[in-house]
Amino acid sequence: MIYSASSIWAEYKTGNPYYYLLRQGLFFGVGFVGFIIAAKIPYTFWLKQANKIFFACLILLILVLIPGIGLVRGGARSWIGIGDFSIQPAEFMKLGLIIFTAKFLSKNKGILKKNRYFYAYMLFVGIIFGLILLQPDFGSGLIMVMSIVMLLFIGEFQIKNIVIGVLAATAGLTLMILAAPYRLERIISFLDPWSDPLGSGFQIIQSLYAISPASLFGYGLFQSKQKYFYLPEPGNDFIFAIIVEELGILGGILIILLFGILIYLGFTLAKASKDSFASYLVFGFTSLLMIQVFINIAVVIGLIPVTGVTLPFVSYGGSSLVISMFMMGMIFNVMTTVDKDLSFEFGYKKKKPKRANR
């Protein structure tokens, strides 16, 4: 689908229709090696190294803000690297903060019931969110914060704290929207895209033009019309629109179903794990996946304002794919540790061997 969605744009931009396909294949190779390595490393290793991993991610997040080190693309200073080969520190911070929070919750059970610790931790998360906003990368920051909130939700805290937190977050988001004109434009274009069809509403209108005419089976593979310079960079955040346009409603449902199965198995594994760190770790990673998938698809079909969020495993993007596959390797290690025969996934138990007759 990356080839189908990006080939026209790639040929126009680079002269090679396979440009993005080949690069994504390279990223997949790196990600697959990362998956194998993460699957072999005992998850307890991440518990011991959680602080170091977090601080390494924090250093990257600070370095990307320094002119000359951080690369600017699309108006955001979100990458570190050389030329086209670069990484997004925000993607690494998602992983690092979940590992750090999983350790914090497993080592300090019930501590969030005390108001001062809850507010202190939310302030800590807010500072990291602020560093990501400075790039600016609102989408990645929002996904990270929502994932941590879900982790804290199962970390035994008082309900009144989450209510206060939601109210404070709402007030903060409102101020951020009012402070940045482009965010306000996105809200307005979300409410009425046709008020500025060639400006802020252009992308969502073209996305809806791709999805709306699609029948049950779509136009057919490689037959998208919107990828011909109508939908900007269709292989990235809006690839789901091209999938529905070419493969129809059934293609879109299949993608959602596959993600649904993966998310269900993740939450089932988190529940089955007896080790609190492993449980928090898998729950956090699964929450991250679920939130990112929801936000991406919701943006594409016009349910929420446009924000730059990739569709995990599907959209073009090296950092997202490599980090996602590494994360899956960590989950796989927990899975093999919890139950090697995977019986918990399907709700059955292994039959006990019959005793020999004496």
Residue 344 has pLDDT above 50, yes or no: no
Domain count for the chain: 1
Residue 347 has pLDDT above 50, yes or no: no
Q: Does residue 37 sit within a domain?
A: yes
Q: Does residue 350 sit within a domain?
A: no
Strands 85-87 and 70-73: unpaired
Amino acid at 126: G
CB atoms within 10 A of CB 82: 7
Read off the pLDDT of residues 46-104 as tens digits, 9 standing for 90 and up.
999 999 999 999 999 999 888 888 887 766 788 887 666 778 888 899 999 999 999 99
Query: In sequence order, what are the residues at sequence separation of 6 or more whose Cβ sits closer than 8 angstroms to the Cβ of residue 77?
Result: 64, 65, 67, 70, 71, 135
Q: Does residue 354 sit within a domain?
A: no
Name the residue with higher pLDDT: 172 or 287: 287
Backbone angles phi, psi at 150, to 5 degrees: -65, -40
Q: Does residue 356 sit within a domain?
A: no
Q: Does residue 349 sit within a domain?
A: no
Half-sphere exposure of 335 (CA within 13 A, CB side): 21
Q: Does residue 358 sit within a domain?
A: no
- Which element (helix H / strand E) includes 151? helix 138-153
Q: Does residue 351 sit within a domain?
A: no
SS3 70: strand
Measure the CA–CA gap between 75 and 81, rounded to whole angstroms: 17
Residue 349 has pLDDT above 90, yes or no: no
257-275 residues labelled b (16+ CB within 10 A) or e (exposed): eebeebbebbebbbebbee
Query: In sequence order, what are the residues at sequence separation of 6 or more whose Cβ sits closer than 8 angstroms to the Cβ of residue 83?
Result: none
Read off the pLDDT of residues 307-327 as tens digits, 9 standing for 90 and up.
878 999 999 988 889 999 999
pLDDT of residue 200: 74
Measure the CA–CA gap between 238 and 311, rounded to whole angstroms: 8
Read off the pLDDT of residues 162-216 as tens digits, 9 standing for 90 and up.
677 777 777 777 776 666 666 677 777 777 788 778 877 888 889 989 998 878 8
Q: Does residue 357 sit within a domain?
A: no
pLDDT of residue 358: 46
Measure the CA–CA gap between 79 and 66, rounded to whole angstroms: 11
pLDDT of residue 157: 64
pLDDT of residue 122: 83
Residue 139 has pLDDT above 80, yes or no: yes
What is the span of the domain harbouring residue 58? 2-344
- Which element (helix H / strand E) includes 270? helix 239-272
